[in-house]
A = this chain, B = another copy of it.
Amino acid sequence: MTATATLRPREDVGLRDRLARSAAEREAGMQLRNPDFMPWLAERGVAHRFAVERIPFSALEGWSFAQDTGNLGHHSGRFFTVEGLHVVADEESGGEWQQPIIKQPEVGILGILAKEFDGVLHFLMQAKMEPGNPNLLQVSPTVQATRSNYTKVHRGADVKYIEYFTQAGRGRVMADVLQSEHGSWFHQKSNRNMLVQTDENVHVDDDFCWLTLGQIGELLRLDNVINMDARTVLACVPGVSPGSRALHSDTGLLSWFTGERSRRELRAERTPLGEVSGWQRDPWAISHDAGRYFRVVALAVQAGNREVTGWTQPLFEPVATGVTAFLTRRFGGVRHVLAHARAEGGFLDTVELGPTVQYTPENYAHLDPADRPRYLDLVLEADPARIRYEAVHSEEGGRFLNAESRYLIVDTEDIGTDVPPGYSWVTPDQLSSLARHGHYVNVQARTLLACLNTGAVPG
């Protein structure tokens, strides 16, 4: 006996076409033409008072170093703590080291609301100030909320549009996946990346703007406009260029990945921040003894359009600009990118796929050229004619201060099908398939995947 019930198609076969149609609209959306966008964004900046000032740790309000552990935390026990991490790994994964790390076990929501206007999908993007952004104001998802935000731990205003992401059935889900964040700075942090399409009438608040996927792609060609949270969500849509053939079958790719995760040895244990060796604390910063990697610093923030009107907080500040790049090549006519299975100390499960290159060159400047990261020079010395995409983006401005990377996609003819252990050629659509699931594609690779998904990279 069978119960009567309405079955659905397991796959939304029209979704790729709808996304492709939105990606093709590159010059104007229902709300703004591109030339009007940057003035609109600047106006939103003017509309809100916002000032950021470096302060010593002693001027932090509500934050302190614990007597016993030296961990830096908030008296409410919420938000996040800065603790220590002790990593013991194989040589390929970096050997043994200690470092400060951010522990934030809450799962936040990064959500973009979508809606069709005249048959074209638009995405509701927000002009949002974050204290760590080099230019303060960037374009964020519709909703960017820690659990503390939307459960009101800091007693601020409601998170606008949150109901589309927390109430089942308010819209059609296009993507919903827990994705890792920076494994070098966060301990096992993941956020819920959501895209939800609604047919309801949506009141558009002053700080919000409907953009097509193509418009977002155009903005991704500019430095520091589309924030990290928006980029990672946009990486989770199905790729707009599906293909049924690749150098490796999907099962072959999964098998290579499983092999990488199995062979790499990396054990990371949290330790008290006060006992982390190789780092020193002064009144203004916690720094690496050799001045590498990052500093832990403190900021005071005055803002008008945040959920609360002012606060102080610690942030991580990298010591220099990173270089993050996919090398790319066509095989048999099909574009592939060279993925790198990266072990990072804060990953939940040892290894995720990163870009070909993801390094801060200054951290390796003291090494012999032969010991410097593989493929870094190939990117740094690339013929400009081979650079298919280049822009500077910053990482999450709520936790990281001026954490900029130069993101590139660079053509190569120097690498064939035979690649070293830890590397594999994959098609962008294969990466997109993996990004439907968590813990496969790291946050830096997701930025580059968002550039591919939105047409920011010329075909």
Contacts and interface: CB of A to CB of B under 8 A. Distances in A.
A101 to B, nearest CB: 16
B251 A5 contact: no
A2 B330 contact: yes
A8 B249 CA distance: 6
A246 B6 CA distance: 8
Nearest to A437: B437
Given A178-B261, A261-B178, A254 B7 contact: no
A248 interface: yes
A176 B174 CA distance: 28
A330 B251 contact: no
Copies of this chain, how many?
2
Nearest to A429: B10
B334 A250 contact: no
Contacts of A244: 9-11
A101 B359 CA distance: 38
Contacts of A289: none
Nearest to A255: B176
Interface string A167-207: 01000011111100000000000001010000000000000
B3 A258 contact: no
A76 interface: no
A334 B3 CA distance: 9
A146 to B, nearest CB: 12
Contacts of A105: 267
A313 interface: no
B262 A7 contact: no
Interface string A305-340: 000000000000000000000000111111000000
A383 interface: no
Contact of A7 (B245, B251, B438): B245
B8 A262 contact: no
Given A6-B332, A7-B247, 20 more contacts: A2-B330, A3-B417, A5-B331, A7-B334, A8-B246, A8-B252, A9-B245, A10-B250, A10-B430, A11-B249, A107-B262, A109-B262, A173-B255, A174-B251, A176-B251, A176-B255, A177-B254, A348-B348, A349-B438, A437-B437
A192 B245 CA distance: 26
A446 interface: no
A413 B6 CA distance: 17
Kindly name the residue among A3, A175, A177, A349 whose own CB sees the greatest number of chain B CB atoms within 10 A: A3
A436 B194 CA distance: 22
A245 B8 contact: yes
A413 B192 CA distance: 35
Contact of A175 (B4, B251, B438): B251
Interface in A5-41: 5-12
Interface string A216-252: 0000000000000000000000000001111111111
A459 interface: no
A77 interface: no
A416 interface: yes
A8 B243 CA distance: 11
A90 to B, nearest CB: 13
A132 B205 CA distance: 64
Contacts of A175: 251
A182 B280 CA distance: 42
Given A8-B252, A250-B11, A252-B173, A331 B3 contact: yes
Contacts of A283: none
B176 A3 contact: no
Interface in A145-181: 168, 173-178
A1 interface: yes
B176 A332 contact: no
A332 B247 contact: no
A349 B334 CA distance: 35
Contacts of A254: 176-177, 436-437
A94 interface: no
